[in-house]
Amino acid sequence: MDKAEALKVLQESRVAIDKIDEELIYLIEKRTSLAKDIASAKLALGIPIEDKKREDYIQDKIKKISKEIDGDFINKIMNILMELNKKEQEKILRRNTNG
């Protein structure tokens, strides 16, 4: 690959990554917005926010889906997303409890 081709590949790849970053943020926001529904359902069912069985299921599912990314990194990402969702649920439940 010559320099001109390398620069073109670099620029196109960066543009593609920027688009993927936007999509990732949108999907994370969409995933987090479901916390309201989940919190309301858990409140009605009288179950706690923390659901270790569900978290284990998600981790196992992600390990099976992820083919090209190191499992430890995927687990860290999913832990962050699950923690974000739990925090959002806690916020929603506090609002409902405090009026």
Asked if the model's pLDDT at residue 99 lies above 70, the reply is: no
Chain-centre distance of CA 64, in angstroms?
16
pLDDT one-digit tens code per residue, 64-86 = 888 888 888 888 999 999 999 99
CATH number 3.40.50.150 given to 1-96: no
pTM over 0.85: no
Higher-confidence position of 30 and 96: 30
Residue 78: CB partners within 8 Å, gap ≥ 6?
A: 58, 59, 62
Nearest Cα neighbor of 80 from 24, 22, 28 is: 28
DSSP assignments along 29-68, one per residue: HHHHHTHHHHHHHHHHHT--S--HHHHHHHHHHHHHH-SS
Alpha carbon distance, N-terminus to C-terminus of the chain = 63
Q: Where are the domains of the chain?
A: 1-96
